[in-house]
Structure 1
Amino acid sequence: MPDRPLPITRRLSRRTLLGGLIPALSLAACSRRDETAEPLLDRFSVGEGAYRPVGTLQDIPPSTGPFTARFAPHFGMFEGLAGPDFVDQLKFAHDQGFRAWEDNSMAVRPLADQIRLGNAMRELGIEMGVFVLGDRQGWQSPTLTSGDAQARRNFMAQVDNAIGVAERTGATRMTVLPGLATPGLRRQYQMAHIVDALREACDRIAPHGLTMVVEPINNVDFPGVFLNRTSDGFLISKAVDRPECKLLFDIYHQQIMDGNIIRDMDACWSEIAYFQLGDHPGRNKPHTGETNYANVLQHVWKKGYRGVLGMEHGVTSIDPAAEEDLILTYRRLDGLLKSI
């Protein structure tokens, strides 16, 4: 028996049907306006998230006197103007108005240097920001991710050492880098190993009033690193669930991995205890790359953060003119925050 022709309605293509259906549905939706719906323009109003318009950084009058924000330089940043001696650099920074400092390498400096620098910061009234717990190159080998007992013992020894570093320098926060991912081990297991180790570390530092800040770092500059996204750092901090373990939000690393700086910042705000700055590309001072630091820092300020803002970036060149330009950049940013 020959096939019978399909009814005309069944021969209509899906495209033809959708072509007629979608406009019809759209018209129906438009005719039934939801009186309770929020007007579209209201959903995009500026509200309290509005920022002071900034044409260029040069449009912002620089602040004077001590900085309002606790911007924290590091050793070597003012070597051209202050000379190579670290205490002289601290004194110069204080004269320029800085009231905070950070030093990733403090834990591996000689004991005498830690005491000398700590005493200088106390005398000058400079707050010590973060130092990296243990060797700064610790990210290069599997550590907390592996669950290896010896690796964990090594980490706890670094924690115990960091307690002494903090006492000598007046620091209250230390940066934790969990290390490289462990090949062949599922990510969830590695995350669990990190959480377990950090909980034990919290028990050790709690009596001393210290806080570890877990830092996600990008896997472009640091290939193979396990913790490379802020969202995972937030998850670890929430899972540890101790006041001694919080999140370091590094804007440079965030921009490389995900962008979306302000929205991700808001999503993990409850766990953030420290910020670090650096523009991308180049990891130099704010407004040398693609990040709108004027808006980002206004957002941080409006949300109420008044802690240390680590200047974890380089200088365009080691000479007095470049260093003076760096100071002026932060003076302008400080002037912006002071006006809020």
Structure 2
Amino acid sequence: MIRRNFIKSAALATASAATGATLSGAAMAANPTKNKFKLHYAPHFGMFENSAGKDPIDQLKFMADQGFTALEDNGMMGRPVELQEKIGNELNRLGMKMGVFVVDKGGNSQNSLAAGKKEYIDIFLNGCRRAVEVAKRCNAKYMTVVPGDFERNLPIGIQTGNVIDALRRGAEILEPHGLVMVLEPLSDTPNLFLRTSDQTYEICRGVNSSACKILFDVYHMQKNEGHIIPHINWAWNEIAYFQIGDNPGRKEPTTGEINYKNIFKHVYQKAKAENKEFIWGMEHGNARPGKEGEQALIQAYIESDSFTV
């Protein structure tokens, strides 16, 4: 920690102890030690567990104290209703945005939407209906959908048509509530149907709904297609959400080959010109263990966010 920031932080703590109270949200907002990030970076639960403890609400407070303005929680649908509501209320209190959660059984190797089978589509649509209620509780707008694996006994065009048909039906459920499913092309296995940003762009155009857009995960797209900034530009009109992870290793920025400072700057400037904002999900691990690793992660974001505009 920079010495002058430590002194300021200590002074605030002393003042709080003298009044017998903890810092209010307003006081925390005025805290000069809080980082002022240009973008809405969204950590996930567990990322700062060594610094904040295991309680998710304490972790949220820690994230806010560090200057992070969003949360991502892939497993939100599996959390108890009471905790979903508690997280939503705390996000509101802290002035933080809710990022994506994953639509439960929204499409995977067991029920690929590319197959066009009614039983698989019904599972997906039921997940969308339940996601609406979860989104209301935690103040979410975006939810991740992965169509699943290739159906290798069908031509690719037929599979694409099946995926578009299923997603249109999902969009009909989400669109009236102002919700957006974001389709994520992945690099985890070549068996996955959705692999590239241009393929995802084509599908979003086919669905033709404000409730169906692209989740551009820079880590996966670096592995599958590279040429990151041009691909962002080409798919721009259908992108609603970004995720972060350096490559190789899928850790925080500055630990691999991806120049995140340039990517952040490019998207920031392009979005600002159109009065847009994006949440950037920090969907990666920590390169180093313990509290020191968590502080190193924060420092990596400070460095990558330090682009000039």
Question: Counterpart of 1:233 in structure 2: which amino acid?
Answer: T
Which AA in structure 1 matches 2:98? M
Indicate the SS of the match to 1:213. strand
User: 2:50 maps to which residue?
Assistant: 80
Decide which moves more: 199-208 or 301-310. 301-310
Greater RCO, 1 or 2 (C-alpha within 8 Å, sep 6+): 1
CA distance, structure 2, for counterparts of residue 114 and residue 318 of structure 1? 28
Structure 2 equivalent of residue 268 of structure 1: 235
Shifted more, 302-311 versus 242-251: the winner is: 302-311
1:164 matched residue in structure 2? 133
Structure 1, residues 197-222: CA drift from partner, whole Å, max 9, x if none?
1111111111111011111001xx23
Quote how far apart the aligned CAs of 1:254 are: 0.5
User: Take 1:139 and 1:315, find their aligned partners in 2: how far apart are those partners?
Assistant: 27
| 8 Å contact kept, 1:79–1:318 | no
- Asked if residue 175 in structure 1 is aligned to residue 144 in structure 2, the reply is yes
Equivalent in 233, 250, 258 of residue 200 of structure 2: 233
Look up the equivalent residue of 2:286 and give its one-letter code: V
Distance in 1 (CA, whole Å) between partners of 2:163 and 2:140 is 23
Q: If the length of structure 2 is used for normalisation, what is the TM-score?
A: 0.85
What amino acid sits opposite 1:217 in the alignment?
A: L
The 5 Å alignment of 1:320-331 reads 320-331=291-302
Query: SS state of the match for residue 283, structure 2?
Result: coil
Q: Which letter does structure 2 place at the counterpart of 1:259? A: G
* Backbone CA RMSD of aligned residues: 1.5
Whether the 8 Å CA contact 2:34–2:65 is kept in 1: the answer is no
Cα-to-partner distance string for 1:119-174 (whole Å, 9 max, x where unaligned)? 211111110011111148x5332421110001111110000000001000000011
Structure 1: how far apart are the matches of 2:238 and 2:35?
32
* Rounded Cα–Cα distance in structure 2 between residues aligned with 1:96 and 1:163: 30
In the alignment, is residue 212 of structure 1 matched against residue 181 of structure 2? yes
Give the deviation of 1:64 after TM superposition.
Answer: 5.2
Q: Report the Cα distance in structure 2 between the residues aligned to 1:135 and 1:325, rounded to whole angstroms.
A: 35
Whichever residue aligns with residue 238 of structure 2, its letter is E
SS, match of residue 183 in structure 1? coil
The code of the aligned residue for 1:171 comes to A
Tell me by how many angstroms 1:66 deviates: 3.6
Q: Is 1:147–1:193's contact at 8 Å kept on the other side of the alignment?
A: yes
Q: Hey, what's the Cα distance between the residues in 1 that align with 2:137 and 2:181?
A: 17
Per-residue CA deviation, residues 267-313 of structure 1 (Å, 9 max, x unaligned), is 11110011101011100001211111111111111211521111111
> Aligned ranges for residues 289-304 of structure 1 at < 5 Å?
289-304=256-271
CA distance in 1 between partners of 2:104 and 2:288 (Å)? 29
- Which SS does the other structure have where 2:38 is aligned? coil
Quick check: 1:83–1:89 contact (8 Å CA) kept in 2? yes
Matching residue's letter, 1:141? Q
Q: Which runs of 5+ in 2 are unaligned?
A: 1-32
Q: Secondary structure at the match of 1:275?
A: strand
| Structure 1 residue corresponding to 2:278, chosen from 307, 315, 337 | 307
Number of the residue aligned with 2:248: 281
Give % identity.
42
Distance in 2 (alpha carbons) for counterparts of 1:204 and 1:139: 20
Cα distance in 1, alignment partners of residues 207 and 304 from structure 2: 35
Q: TM-score, normalised by structure 1?
A: 0.78
SS of match in other structure, 1:145: helix
Is 1:122–2:85 an aligned residue pair?
A: no
Give the secondary-structure state (helix, strand or coil) at the position aligned to 2:114: coil
Work out whether 1:202 is the aligned partner of 2:171: yes
- Structure 1 runs, 4 residues or longer, greater than 6 Å off: none
Q: For the Cα contact (< 8 Å) 2:216–2:242, is it kept in 1? A: yes
Q: Does 1:70 align with 2:36?
A: no
- Quick one: which amino acid aligns to residue 149 of structure 1? K
d(CA) in 2 for partners of 1:291 and 1:249?
14
Provide the aligned length of Structure 1 versus Structure 2: 273
Whole-Å separation in 2 of the counterparts to 1:195 and 1:101: 29
Q: Distance in 2 between matches of 1:89 and 1:68?
A: 21
The whole-number CA distance in structure 2 between the counterparts of 1:133 and 1:142 is 13
8 Å CA contact 2:35–2:302 kept in 1: the answer is: no
